[in-house]
């Protein structure tokens, strides 16, 4: 199970899904570094908080803990991202706002656990660590972080759309790596953007008029792309010209415009 599959399992309510091991010898675990955050490292670091606090409570940790430092939500890997790059890229997102709030509450709860432990109340600290607000906010951070990874990962669908022209041109010229078929290209649910529209995009933005426009224009774009491939089977020169002028180019530009409109609305 990769991190994306793990994230979707967590989103679907499988709280017991095991975090996939990182790939040995691969810094940052390929595919998990998105939007300025290594999500694999962030998830792993967050889940280790409980073990580290247990070590402090039981006196088996050599780390010097300070309540005022643990209380801050802008010093850990995730916190630094939330207060900088994350806010810049996802400030419009309700999921991000929830993540920021629960992450801050989690650090306040962790600091409370530490304060109780340092006061000498081992039983009280362990009680806080294994039940109540600490557990609630820790689980919420894990779920929301998993959701943010899906959003950041599948959000790359937007950039993928702009690569279609190159893919089609290379295929027509016989130098492409993709075996494009007319019946597949004509479908609007097979490409990365289509999967986003029919998945997390629809879930997040489905009620917005701008999203309906994007869905419609994306379907039209795939019809035009399929037409280019059909023509290429008989006339490659004409097919290449279709990529530069006419309905294909117009449809592609309209999809890009619809994407921009959708996200500008969210940022406002």
User: pLDDT by residue (tens digit) across 36-59?
Assistant: 898 888 988 998 999 999 999 998
Mean model confidence pLDDT for the chain: 85
Which domains, ranges and CATH numbers included, belong to the chain? 3-154 (1.20.120.30), 157-267 (1.20.120.30)
Per-residue pLDDT, 158: 61
174: left (phi over 0), alpha (psi -120 to 50) or beta: left
Label residue 27 by pLDDT band (50, 70, 90).
Answer: very low
Label residue 61 by pLDDT band (50, 70, 90).
Answer: confident
d(CA 111, CA 124): 13
Sort 247 into a burial class: Cβ within 10 Å, 0-12 / 13-18 / 19+: middle
The CA angle 80-85-90, to the nearest 5 degrees, is: 115
Q: Is the pLDDT of residue 254 over 70?
A: yes
Label residue 105 by pLDDT band (50, 70, 90).
Answer: very high
d(CA 40, CA 128): 27
Per-residue pLDDT, 265: 54
Per-residue pLDDT, 161: 75
Overall pTM > 0.85: no
Give the H or E element holding residue 34.
strand 33-34
Label residue 22 by pLDDT band (50, 70, 90).
Answer: low
User: pLDDT by residue (tens digit) across 174-184?
Assistant: 998 888 999 99
> What is the longest distance spanned by two Cα atoms in the chain?
82
- Whether 68 and 78 have beta carbons less than 8 Å apart is answered as no
B/e letters for 133-146, b = 16+ CB within 10 Å, e = fewer, are: ebeebbebbbbbbb
Q: Is the pLDDT of residue 130 over 70?
A: yes
DSSP, collapsed to helix, strand or coil, labels residue 37 as strand
- Whether 153 and 8 have beta carbons less than 8 Å apart is answered as no
Q: Is the pLDDT of residue 216 over 80?
A: yes
Sort 77 into a burial class: Cβ within 10 Å, 0-12 / 13-18 / 19+: middle
DSSP, collapsed to helix, strand or coil, labels residue 33 as strand
How many Å from the N-terminal Cα to the C-terminal Cα in the chain?
Answer: 37
User: pLDDT by residue (tens digit) across 141-157?
Assistant: 998 988 888 777 655 55
Residue spans of alpha helices (H) in 71-156: 77-82, 85-90, 94-118, 122-130, 133-154
Q: How many secondary structure helices (H) and strands (E) does the chain include?
A: 17, 2
- Whether 86 and 96 have beta carbons less than 8 Å apart is answered as yes
DSSP, collapsed to helix, strand or coil, labels residue 38 as strand
Give the H or E element holding residue 165.
helix 164-172
Per-residue pLDDT, 159: 59
């Amino acid at each position: 199970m990769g991190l994306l599959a793990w994230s979707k399992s967590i989103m679907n309510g499988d709280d017991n899904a095991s975090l996939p091991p990182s790939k040995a010898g691969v810094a940052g675990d390929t595919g998990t570094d998105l939007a300025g955050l290594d999500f694999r490292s962030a998830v792993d670091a967050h889940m280790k908080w409980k073990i580290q606090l247990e070590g402090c409570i039981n006196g088996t940790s050599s780390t010097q803990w300070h309540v005022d430092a643990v209380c801050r939500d802008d010093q850990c890997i995730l916190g630094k991202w939330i207060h900088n790059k994350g806010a810049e890229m996802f400030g419009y997102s309700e999921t991000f706002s929830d993540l920021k709030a629960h992450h801050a509450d989690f650090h306040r709860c962790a600091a409370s656990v530490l304060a109780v432990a340092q006061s000498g109340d081992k039983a009280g600290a362990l009680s806080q660590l294994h039940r109540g607000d600490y557990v609630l906010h820790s689980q919420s951070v894990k779920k929301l972080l998993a959701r943010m990874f899906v959003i950041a990962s599948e959000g790359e669908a937007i950039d993928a759309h702009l690569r279609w022209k190159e893919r089609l041109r290379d295929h027509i010229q016989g130098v492409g790596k993709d075996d494009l078929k007319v019946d597949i290209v004509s479908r609007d649910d097979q490409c990365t953007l289509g999967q986003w529209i029919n998945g997390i995009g629809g879930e997040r933005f489905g009620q917005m008029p701008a999203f309906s426009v994007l869905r419609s224009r994306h379907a039209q774009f795939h019809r035009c792309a399929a037409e280019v491939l059909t023509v290429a089977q008989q006339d490659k020169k004409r097919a290449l010209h279709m990529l530069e002028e006419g309905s294909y180019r117009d449809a592609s530009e309209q999809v890009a415009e619809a994407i921009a409109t959708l996200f500008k609305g969210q940022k406002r």
